[in-house]
Amino acid sequence: MSARLSLAVLACAIASCAYVEATTTQYVGVPKFPPTKAAAVQVLPAEPAQRHDRLGEVLLDISVDPAPPLADIEERLREEGAKMGANAVYVIRDAIRPGEGRKLIGIAIRYRQ
C-alpha cells in the first residue's frame, strides 16, 4: 500500500511542477555564429541602442500556476540565445492569455564590433 501512495504523491508532484518550454527560430539569411556561453548572454527589457544584428526569436511557453521563478525564465532565455551565438536577448512580448498560459517572445541579438 505504501508503494501506491508513494507513486500517487510522485505523480501529483510531477503534474504540479512549474515549467519553461522553449522554441527557437533563427532568421533566414542571418549568418550562423558559434554558440556563446549562456552566463555571458544579457537579458534586456527592451531593444538596446547599441548597434546589433537580430539573429532570431525565442518563444517561451511558461506555466502560470505554479509560476516558475524569474531566474528560471531568464536562464532559459540565456541558454536559447547562446545556442544562436547571441550576446543578448531582449523581450518584445510577455502576455498571459486565459486557457493558453503565459507566452514570452524574445529577440536574440549579436552586438556589432
pLDDT digits (tens, 9 = 90+) for 49-59: 999 999 999 99
Picking from 12-26, 30-44, 75-89, which range would have the lowest pLDDT averaged per residue?
Answer: 12-26
Does CATH number 3.30.110.70 belong to domain 18-111? Answer: yes
Confidence check: pLDDT of 9 > 50: no
Q: Taking all residues of the chain, what is their mean pLDDT, rounded to a whole number?
A: 89
Confidence check: pLDDT of 100 > 90: no
So where are the chain's domains? 18-111
* Beta strands at 42-44 and 52-62: parallel, antiparallel or unpaired: unpaired
The CA-to-CA distance between both ends of the chain, in Å, stands at 65
Confidence check: pLDDT of 104 > 60: yes
User: What pLDDT is stored for residue 11 in this prediction?
Assistant: 39
Q: In the chain, where do the E strands start and end? A: 20-26, 42-44, 52-62, 88-97, 101-111
